[in-house]
Structure 1
Amino acid sequence: MKKIKSYTGIWNVEKVLYAINDFNLPFPVTFTQITWFVITEFIIILFGDIPPLSMIEGA
Structure 2
Amino acid sequence: MKQIRVYNQVFRIEKTVYSVQGINLPLPVSYRQMAFFVGTLLVMVFLNKFPPISWIDYFLIKFVAIPVIVAWFFTRKTLDGKAPHRFILRYLEHLFKAHHFARYQELEKPRDNCYKYTGEVTYRLTSGGDSK
1:28 counterpart = 2:25: no
Structure 2: unaligned runs, 5 residues or longer: 60-132
Q: CA deviation at 1:21?
A: 3.0
Q: Which runs of 5+ in 1 are unaligned?
A: none
What is the letter of the counterpart of residue 3 of structure 1?
Q
Moved over 6 A (4+): none
Relative to the length of structure 2, the TM-score reads 0.41
Which letter does structure 2 place at the counterpart of 1:29? V
Paired residue for 1:18? 18
1:3-59 deviations in whole A, cap 9, x for unaligned?
111111211111111112322111111111111110111001111111111111254
> What is the distance in 2 between the residues matched to 1:13 and 1:56?
39
Quick check: 1:37 aligned with 2:8? no
Q: CA RMSD in A?
A: 1.3
Greater RCO structure (CA 8 Å; 6+ sep): 1
| Aligned equivalents of 1:9, 1:58: Cα separation in 2 | 41
Aligned residues: 59
Equivalent pairs: percent with the same residue?
34
Look up the match of 2:119: none
Structure with the higher fraction of residues in strand conformation: 1
Name the TM-score, length of structure 1 as normaliser: 0.84
Measured in 2, the distance between the counterparts of 1:57 and 1:24 equals: 29
The CA distance in 2 between the partners of 1:58 and 1:21, in whole Å, is 27
> If you compute each CA radius of gyration, which structure gives the higher value, 1 or 2?
2
